[in-house]
Structure 1
Amino acid sequence: MRLSGAHRLRLRLLAQGVGGGPGCRRPGRRPPAGRTDGLPVRLLLLSGRPASLCARAHRESGGVRPFLHPDQPSPLLAVPFLGPLVERTHRKGLLILCDFGASALCALLLLFPGPPLPFLLTGTMLFHLLSHLFEIASKVLFSELCPPERLSSLNGIKSLLDHGAAVLAPAAGALLFGLCGFRAILLLCALAYGLSALQECFIPYAPRPIQQAEPPRLRAGIRYLLGRRELFSLFLLVMALNFFVANSEEIIFPGILVELYQFPESRYGLAVSASTAGTLLASLFLIRAAHLRPLEHLRALFLVNSALMAALGLAAPLLRFVPKLYFVLFFTFQLLIGWLTACINVPLISYFQTRVPLEQQGRFFALLAFFSGILIPLGISYTGVLADWLGPGAAYACNNLCVIVLVLLVRLPA
């Protein structure tokens, strides 16, 4: 079977340890638009991707060698139905249940090494489901616990902690694995999830009474979203970003920096980490400057962010014979892009938490997670084909030009 250029590039990067697998997370990785990583207390010394845990456990026990992902579609199909469950259930109790469940699964892998494949896949699907449930419930709980006027600054603190963990976790996890082995990582995960659940028991929480004429149904949540033009426009924009932009570190950046410019791994890691540095700086800024209301400048932020990405893509083939100049340009632009991305994502989440009624938030965030989970892998496949046809730089520019057109067409909050 003949491999396309994009597939050959992917295999080469995997062999070099640069591109990472679907279950890997690199320091420069940003969460998809409109998504965050649960509560900051869940800072583990790992990537936070349970599939990689289970696949690694099976490989260590002499099981199959290829990385398996048939566990992902089934939990994703159940995600929309988690919204009504979150709305009718005690949110704090759900968080505790999710963390205790994750701790128990890690403990089972630790106590019974070399599980059969059906058990492994079932456990991984349950891990994914618990992760989605925790994410949705934590966002709704955040809306309940935090005053609306403080949501922006508190989400800034949360963004700072989440991205700080994304920088430190892979390095700390790799160091621990090298020193103590994989079983030590499983033990740490079991303890971390257990301590997280224990800490959540002490969160002061009195559920707000939710006035609903009938039990929450998914169809009613979809009708609510379609009936709010401004909210639906933002929802579509978030989905477009997940489709066109969230694939950058899987396809675009390795294609430009490694395949086109032949940069070594150390320089590649430094370049893609610049966006995380920008996000951390922006999170600090948003904590202190929530009064500036970046949501009022959302259209301009989107346009400038996408224009920088498009310019970076167009410059890739033009500066091919001046690699040092392109590296400096890439690093600088990624720093700015990380800053702008945080200035978009943090206010956007705060907007959803304040404008969507509490009785609809579970279904809204469940739909957001569901469509993001579908569109990100579709975007990776589409961008891989486009990069194989046009080249990674041109594909990056085309994707962001599509985002610019969409931003100009949709109605954004004033």
Structure 2
Amino acid sequence: MASTHLPGAPASGWRTFLALWGSQSVSQVGSFVSWFALNVYVAQTLYPHPDQKAPLALALGAFAIAATLLAVVLAPIAGSVADRTHRKRVMLVCDVLSGVLTLGMAALMFAAVVPFWLLLAFVIATQSLSLFHEAALESSYAMIVPEEQLTRANGMMQTTRQFSGLIAPTIATLLIGVPTLLHGSGWLASLRDGVPFALLVDGVSFLLAALVLGLLAIPSPPPAEDHGGAAANLKADTRLGWTYLLRRPPLLYLLIGSAVVNFATAAIPVYQTLITTFTLQADRAARGLSFPATLAIIDTMTGLGMFLGGLTISTWGGLKRRRVLGILIPTLVSGAGLVLMGLSGDVYLTAAAFTLTVFVMPISQAHSAGIWQAQVPRELQGRVFAVRRMVARFTVPLGMAFVSGVSTSLPPGPVIAVLGVLVMIVGTLQLLNPTVQRVDDKAYVDGLAAARGGD
């Protein structure tokens, strides 16, 4: 597990990152537009009738489950590839293949109704490529950006994601309405809707991102040594990732805390619907608000909170010392927000609780990513980050299943409040843990690893 001493980020690294961030942001918006449009296609083209609610629910659920399971199953493979292949090449291949696949799907939709099984295969393929791209991109930050800018860089990527989520529905809706806006003239008259236009935009955005990426100098560490075949490499790489973490308790404790927070907050979209339906029923009736109007208020405030949180960390740049506080303080705030949203019966106070809960998430995530990127040797980041993603994301479907299942027999508000208390307890314990408090101290963390038989 010995690591090589690689040179620091190049002097032009921040300019390179800005170009990479800008091009990948365009692609990210395109992907959100495409995802929204696919869901519309399933609901309006494949299963549009009232008696098709069951297959519609199963189809939409299959999309979500496929994306979630892929993130867990493919993480070790993607991490291994990121450390064994030039990372720029991985990103280029993923962008180009995603662009070609998406343009191909758009062409099929222009010509015929695409069956669900083919849409699901398309989602699996493009989501898989996205995971490999993510592994290569995340492990490239420390090769490009100076360490003091890592938190800001991660915050900017968080902002892009939140901004994409905010504007994608509007863009997708406009593109889907193109045939209607143009009154179905000429060949447009044969189109059921403009969903293919949304995929066309996404496909082009992938190819533009690949074009910009091809012009950038993205350093990559020397590839990991071959241990005798892909299966042997994957086994060794997964073992290396786990061993690295188990020998470094500060990082391991931090990861466990993130997994707990993800368990409690993963079902926020579910919370919105459950709370609007049950907890806020009396107050929205007293205010004369319909269910859709109340849900729209809460959903809008949640999206706004996420975007403002990302914008804040991008502008601020995060803590330069004791960055762990940039994780733990937001954890306490998120927990308090969950308690408030679970106990509040007021529409606007609940909306404020959602805003507060998600506002601090990009701040916490950016600080966390910055710490990991600074602590883990750059040539090991693909494999170590793979284990990190597996553990952190494994609790997401568990959290969704837990809340959905428990809420069938218990009021959702108290359940959410209890999860908020759990988050606050974990955050407090980590604040009081001297080992976690020194997670920023690389010499201390590596010293613990050496004492446990590491390098």
Percent sequence identity over aligned pairs: 21
Match of 2:268 among 248, 265, 270: 248
What amino acid is the match of 1:43?
Q
**Higher helix residue share:** 2
Amino acid at match of 1:104: V
Is 1:290 aligned with 2:317? yes
Cα drift, residue 79 of structure 1: 2.5
The 1:118–1:279 alpha-carbon spacing in structure 2 relative to 1, beyond 3 Å, is closer
State the TM-score, normalizing by the size of structure 2.
Answer: 0.72
User: Structure 2 matches for 1:9-408, cutoff 5 A?
Assistant: 39-45=24-30, 47=32, 53=38, 56=41, 60=45, 66=56, 67=59, 69=62, 71-72=66-67, 73=69, 76-112=72-108, 113-114=112-113, 119-180=118-179, 181-209=194-222, 217-250=237-270, 252-262=271-281, 263=284, 264=290, 265-290=292-317, 292-293=319-320, 295-297=323-325, 298-316=327-345, 326-408=346-428
Show CA shifts across 1:36-71 (max 9, x none).
9x9424233452675973993798479995316275
Which structure 1 residue ranges, 5 or more long, are not aligned? Answer: 1-35, 317-325
Of residues 332-341 and 114-123 in structure 1, the stretch that sits farther from structure 2 once superposed is 114-123
With normalisation by structure 1, the TM-score equals: 0.79
Q: Secondary structure at the match of 1:236?
A: helix
2:437 is matched with 413
Pair 1:380–1:58, CA change in 2 (3 A):
closer
CA contact (8 A) 1:307 1:404 kept: yes
8 Å Cα contact 2:340/2:353 also seen in 1 = no
Q: Note if contact 1:71-1:122 (Cα within 8 Å) is conserved in structure 2.
A: no
Distance 2:306 2:202 in 1: 26
Aligned residues: CA RMSD: 3.1
What is aligned with 2:7? none
Secondary structure at the aligned position of 1:388 is classed as coil
Equivalent-residue separation in structure 2 for 1:57 and 1:302 (angstroms): 37
- CA separation in 2, counterparts of 1:353 and 1:83? 14
Deviations 1:64-110, CA, capped at 9 Å, x for gaps:
95316275546742332211111111111111111111111112223
Bigger Cα displacement from structure 2, 125-134 vs 113-122: 113-122
Contact 2:155-2:363 within 8 A present in 1 as well? no
| CA distance, structure 2, for counterparts of residue 314 and residue 222 of structure 1 | 39
TM-aligned CA deviation for residue 124 of structure 1: 2.7
- Taking CA–CA contacts closer than 8 Å with sequence separation of 6 or more, which of the two structures ends up with the larger relative contact order? 1
Instruction: Give structure 2 stretches of 5+ with no counterpart.
Output: 1-20, 180-193, 228-232, 285-289, 439-455
In structure 2, the CA distance between the partners of 1:280 and 1:75, relative to structure 1 (3 Å rule), is: closer
Report the secondary structure of 1:390's partner residue. Answer: coil
1:341 to partner: Cα distance:
2.0
Matched residue type, 1:260: T
Which AA in structure 1 matches 2:202? C
Query: Structure 1 405/55 Cα, relative in aligned 2: closer, same or farther at 3 Å?
Result: same
What secondary structure does 1:183 align onto?
A: helix
Contact 1:58 1:114 in 2 (8 A): no
Superposition deviation, residue 358 in structure 1: 1.3
CA contact (8 A) 2:343 2:413 kept: yes
Distance in 2 between residues matched to 1:333 and 1:279, nearest whole Å: 12
Change (3 A) 1:61 1:51: same
What is the number of equivalent residue pairs in this alignment?
368
Whether the 8 Å CA contact 2:280–2:347 is kept in 1: the answer is no
Structure 1 residues 225, 287: closer, same or farther in 2, change over 3 A? same
The one-letter amino acid paired with 1:259 is F
Distance in 1 (CA, whole Å) between partners of 2:39 and 2:273 is 26
Larger mean Cα displacement after TM superposition, 195-204 or 285-294: 285-294
1:116 to partner: Cα distance: 6.0
1:14-50 Cα offsets, whole Å, 9 max, x none, are: xxxxxxxxxxxxxxxxxxxxxx9x9424233452675
Distance 2:412 2:334 in 1: 18
Aligned CA distance change for structure 1 residues 210 and 189 (closer, same or farther; 3 Å) = closer
AA in 2 matched with 1:402: L
Given that 1:313 and 1:397 are in contact with CA atoms closer than 8 Å, whether structure 2 keeps it comes out as: yes
Greater CA drift, 222-231 or 336-345? 336-345
What is the distance in 2 between the residues matched to 1:100 and 1:162?
21
